[in-house]
Structure 1
């Protein structure tokens, strides 16, 4: 998969240092299922994708700068999308291109029909990625997430194969 100098590829164990560095960013620290504080944790994060969905390393000019994934694929042709980029790649359209490529792949290769995602309402950058990648807002899920004892509203977006 490719879009200009942005490509998606399978994760490999050698990518663990990038994963570790990414999850050291303050806004990413609580985004993994467990704290990523060592190379062993980062290698485990990469390995944890096996059998639960499809995760791709996002590369920019050959350097890993993020992740896009489809999980929660059900019998109705629906999947849940997630994405992140390292801080130095943000604001450059990398996540948007990666999401567009992931969406094309999911509709073409996995024959999915509907892709969904959610972002905290206090994260306008994630909302911009979603909308620029063609994911339409569908509503607010009130106080859905809890981080550090605080509840957050989530805006749900979706994209259909027919959009």
Structure 2
């Protein structure tokens, strides 16, 4: 069963922290060296860079801290919510999952995630996506969550499908090519509604 703890966000948003399925989702701390190092390592990972091109490129701890501070500002304004995925028992960092483009008026948001290399193959992304989805529907009263990944990113596609995010089509040239700003690639769009059935987590019987 999933549980919640307090989380610092925009005062108008519920302050809860998703927990369950063997994971705990905690807010990133821009003032923490450990968090900044984990954030940097995740963004320098070759697999991350193959499938993602951040709007602002950086490659050092100073850039990681500024990126996390930007995330904190967006969270304080209610535009996003960013979570460090951790093991529920040990507290070991496993990756990131977040909601962006949150619209309380339209009741929508976009989901993004990545998992550190040593944590892959254990259903971490799927379990985290199930947790953050439940949190978004219950705590933010959102109705529709969207998830986009580059065409060809089969692992992310499987995570989406296992988490109940149905494939809805292909968005033409909706994402930058890896490491470029002058070329684009197609994106597969998935979405899940608050009224859709919640799948069981990996390994559940």
Which of the pair is proportionally richer in strand?
1
Residue 23 of structure 1 pairs with residue 37 of structure 2: no
Task: State the match for 1:33 in structure 2.
Answer: 55
**Within 5 Å, which residues of 2 pair with 1:104-119?**
104-119=134-149
**Within 5 Å, which residues of 2 pair with 1:49-88?**
49=71, 50-51=73-74, 52-60=79-87, 61-74=90-103, 75-88=105-118
Count of matched residue positions in the alignment of Structure 1 and Structure 2: 163
Which protein shows a greater Rg? Answer: 2
Runs of 4+ in 1 over 4 A off after TM superposition: none
Q: 1:3 to 1:81 in 2, by over 3 A?
A: same
- The alignment's TM-score, normalised by the length of structure 2, stands at 0.75
Task: State the match for 2:194 in structure 1.
Answer: 161
- Residues of 2 paired with 1:107 and 1:143: CA distance? 29
- Residues of 2 paired with 1:142 and 1:104: CA distance? 29
Secondary structure at 1:23's aligned position in 2? helix
**Alignment RMSD (CA, Å):** 1.4
- The alignment's TM-score, normalised by the length of structure 1, stands at 0.93
Conservation of the 8 A alpha-carbon contact between 1:24 and 1:36: no
Q: CA shift at 1:3, angstroms? A: 2.0
- Residues of 2 paired with 1:113 and 1:126: CA distance? 22
- Unaligned 5+ segments in structure 2 are 1-17, 197-205
